[in-house]
Structure 1
Amino acid sequence: MAASSIKSPLILFIALSLFVRGIFAEVICDNLPTNFCSFAIASSGKRCVLENYKNDAGKLDFTCKTSEVVVERLAGYIETDQCVKACGVDRSFVGISSDAFLVPQFTQRLCSPSCYQNCANIVDLYFNLAAGEGVYLPLLCEKQKTEPHRAMMELLSSGGVATGFVADAPASSPF
């Protein structure tokens, strides 16, 4: 009886220390499996990027690398599968492009409440991509809700810069 009463706390202690170690583990892009790389942020605060290369057999393979892009508030973060699905993004894409905004279904999913209000990492990334094109994402999302076809037409007709979306828009992410 005494031996089993000692084993219980010991097992609980070991389980809790493994759990705590998992919580405080450092995220290093180069050590991440490729299926967790995209939309991850290293403990250093730099975004992880999926890159392709030819392996020794001459076949296309993938690796996770650290980019130079720093995210200030989400260091050590790996995006959830729920957010990847809600936002309509794909972890297997190599490189992320603002061309995604030209696909109405993508913009609709990115601007949906399940993505826009719950997935700060993905929204921050696309906020910065949009800003690079002269588009203020919150205004694009607002336009997407009220006039989705007009939002796309303005984006297309202006060569990437949507009229009315950039007027004195703040330069930093809303997150």
Structure 2
Amino acid sequence: MVSIFRTSLMVLISFYSFDPSHANIICEDLPEDICAFSISGAGKRCLLETEARFAGGVDFRCRTSEIEVGRMTNYVESDACVHACGVDRRSVGISSDGLLDPDFTAKLCSPECFDNCPNIVDLYFNLAAGEGAFLPDVCAARRANPHRTMVEILSSGLVSDMLTSEEFSGAPSPSPAST
């Protein structure tokens, strides 16, 4: 009788002390509306992918990427950060293309996003690094001159150096066709 009571008590205590935030996130189990910008229990980014149907059309599936986050696990991005940073939960894959959009970089570099949404900032920090840019410098340059920032990202800084020298020389460089 005491044994049954203890077992029942242990089950009851474990049931009431279960905290869903300690659940292990498996990307493939996430619904498509919270997949993008989530991090699995293994610390890998979840990404939304498309899959063609045999009957036509497209299905969306959440998959585990090979991109490791390092400092975060079991994380689903908040709606507040999705809105503040200007990202879309229906984003398919992971791409640095958003960094070329001045409206997106304005939101990403805003204090509401940059200071409060470490998951999204970490993702785009790494994507910018893959393009040869340092996100805090991109944000600083964006505040100073939004159009030049896009050129710096596109060229990993090389074209911006040429533009700077052209600005000072007053004349464009000769094209290869004119020589």
TM-score w.r.t. length of structure 1: 0.77
Cα deviation, residue 113, structure 1: 0.3
- Superposition pairs for residues 116-155 of structure 1, below 5 Å? 116-155=114-153
Once residues 138 and 90 of structure 1 are traced to their aligned partners in structure 2, the CA distance between those partners, rounded to angstroms, is: 22
**Paired position in structure 2 for 1:67:** 65
Residue deviations 1:115-153, cap 9 Å, x none? 000010001101111101101101010111222233234
**Gapped regions of structure 2 (runs ≥ 5):** 1-11, 161-179
Matched, 1:22 2:17: no
Query: Match of 1:65, as an amino acid?
Result: R
Once residues 147 and 21 of structure 2 are traced to their aligned partners in structure 1, the CA distance between those partners, rounded to angstroms, is: 44
**Relative to structure 1, is the Cα distance of residues 59 and 128 closer, same or farther in structure 2, using a 3 angstrom cutoff?**
same
- Superposition pairs for residues 1-175 of structure 1, below 5 Å? 17=16, 20-155=18-153, 159-162=154-157
Query: Match of 1:75, as an amino acid?
Result: T
Q: Is the 8 A contact 2:50 2:58 kept in 1?
A: yes
Cα deviation, residue 164, structure 1: 10
Q: Is the 8 A contact 2:45 2:68 kept in 1?
A: yes
Query: Match of 1:17, as an amino acid?
Result: Y
Once residues 76 and 138 of structure 2 are traced to their aligned partners in structure 1, the CA distance between those partners, rounded to angstroms, is: 26
TM-score w.r.t. length of structure 2: 0.75
Q: Is the 8 A contact 2:43 2:70 kept in 1?
A: yes
The alignment-based identity, stated in percent, is 51
Larger Rg belongs to: 2
**Gapped regions of structure 1 (runs ≥ 5):** 1-12, 166-175
What secondary structure sits across from 1:23 in the alignment? helix
**Relative to structure 1, is the Cα distance of residues 103 and 83 closer, same or farther in structure 2, using a 3 angstrom cutoff?**
same
What secondary structure sits across from 1:151 in the alignment? helix
How many residues are treated as equivalent by the alignment? Answer: 148
Once residues 91 and 122 of structure 1 are traced to their aligned partners in structure 2, the CA distance between those partners, rounded to angstroms, is: 12
Once residues 40 and 30 of structure 1 are traced to their aligned partners in structure 2, the CA distance between those partners, rounded to angstroms, is: 11
